[in-house]
Amino acid sequence: MPDTSADAVSASPLNPEGAGARYLAAVTSMLEEAAVAESAAMSAAAEAIASALLQGGTLHAFGSGHSTIISEEVFYRAGGLKAVRPLFFEGLMLHGSNRLATQLERISGLAEKLLDDHGVEAGDVLIVASNSGGNAVSVEAVQEARKRGLTTIAVTSVGHATSPAARPTPHPKLHEVADIVLDNHGVVGDAAVPVEVAGTRVGPTSTVVGAALVNAVVAEAIERAASRGWTPDLWVSSALAIGDAANAS
């Protein structure tokens, strides 16, 4: 009989040829590829955010479904900007009805109302994350924001958006309307690892790579703005002894 004790299980290494190891290898490869291929776009995004900070502007972030996680990633994070306002709308998030959220993100006209309610200013920056780049609310959020004088940054999979396998849409794709595009280099359908015994693919990568790209951009923006005289106004981990006092100001 195999030893299934806690000690035996914890001592067993990950199968180097298994799906878990293949997933980590896929993510690592995508990150390395994106670090090179998206360098110019990340620089442009960082410059846009740095310029907004120097002018007292705000970084806004939006996404629907799992892409909401990218908005949460830049909000209220240790070492992150205080000048971040995520555009959260519960109907587009997954903790309510995931099926309803999928339907709502495809409705034309919703983005305009969301931006009206949220409030933005010319000179601000808006990050919109959508792996597929095909949902109406994400595309129109960028279009509306540009009309209002914001610089827009898309975080998306250009490979998926341009694939014939992508769901057809009557409107442009996100990468076609944003000022700056950060391609997460994900595979079509997001799940990156084929698992033959299951007859399917597993392991989405859009959140991991998208979050890394956005964090790199914000870090670069902070450094650039600070080098030009901006006084850093950042969150400190609330898990530190100094955290509560530092974050109270």
Length of the chain measured in residues: 249
CATH number for the domain that contains residue 134 = 3.40.50.10490
**Bridge partners of 201?**
194
pTM comes to 0.94
CB-CB contact of 170 with 159 (8 Å): no
Within a domain: 57: yes
Within a domain: 29: no
Instruction: Determine the structural domain holding residue 142 and report its residue range.
Output: 39-236
Within a domain: 22: no
Within a domain: 77: yes
pLDDT (tens digit per residue) in 6-59? 666 567 899 999 999 999 999 999 999 999 999 999 999 999 999 999 999 999
pLDDT (tens digit per residue) in 52-106? 999 999 999 999 999 999 999 999 999 999 999 999 999 999 998 999 999 999 9
Q: How far is CA 223 from CA 79, 80, 228, in A?
A: 12, 12, 9
Within a domain: 27: no
Which residue spans within 102-236 are E strands per DSSP? 125-129, 151-156, 180-183, 191-195, 200-204
Total domains present in the chain: 1
Within a domain: 147: yes
Within a domain: 247: no
Helix (H) or strand (E) holding 71: helix 68-73
Within a domain: 245: no
**Bridge partners of 183?**
156
